Amino acid sequence: MMQMTNPQQQQYDRGKTIFSPDGRLFQVEYAKEAVKKGATALGIVYKDGVVLAATRNTSDLGVRNPEKVFKVEDHLGIAMSGLVADGRTLVEEARNEAQKHLMTYDEDIPVFTLGKFVADRCQQFTQYGGVRPYGVSTITGGIKDGEPGVYQTDPSGTLNQWNAIAIGKGGEEAKEHLEENYEHDVDEEEAVELAVEALKEGEEDLETENIELSVVDTEDGFQRFTPEDLEEQGMGV
């Protein structure tokens, strides 16, 4: 039976800038629920770079399926889970911020700086009227000065750094697999294999064609892996 809310609770339920008596922002919590229903996505730090990966639905009728892993600059990218349109908007803003940083400081934007920008943007949309929270969580990964890093944000604007993290509808299962199998000195091939295994743990009956995966390394920067690349390396599922 559906639980009914009383008028007082509905007051806090509708206003995302109003805290409930027990300190909750319901609209932010609902935005987090959108992430839990989104595609499984993950980020892994390995000794020479990072892996960003996500699952996506494919259709024989579709000309182009929505991206879940985006290139921002040659040295970093973003994986997302949640509302695709919200994620695309954040990625465009992140790209603009990266260009502004390059023009202002004549250097590539640090991974942490871009991750913090995305987190700050999400947080701003939790405290102003007339807008709603972003229904998306992001994983920003890349390399700066030879150091790989992965940072995750959620709709509240929280920013966390991880060696390996998974989000989305299969995030808990994928994260558990990462916790049990991740090692700090893994190389690129091992990290890619771990990413595919974790995605498979997160979503049953996953096909290789439904995996979107990219790496960012110190030598070649941002590189996309096609399903054929994964099959050739013996990582098909």
- Is 153 labeled as catalytic in the residue annotation? no
Distance (Å, whole) CA 123 – CA 157: 4
| Angle at the Cα of 44 from the Cα atoms of 134 and 140, rounded to 5 degrees | 30
CA distances from 163 to 118, 179, 219, 225 (A): 19, 10, 20, 21
CA distance 77 to 14: 34
Q: What angle do CA 120, 125, 127 make, to 5 degrees?
A: 100
109: CB partners within 8 A, 6+ apart = 73, 76, 97, 98, 101, 102, 144
Q: What is the greatest pairwise CA distance in the chain? A: 60
Residue 125 near residue 134, CB atoms below 8 Å: yes
Among 40, 55, 140, 153, which one carries the catalytic annotation?
Answer: 40
Residue positions annotated with a catalytic role: 40
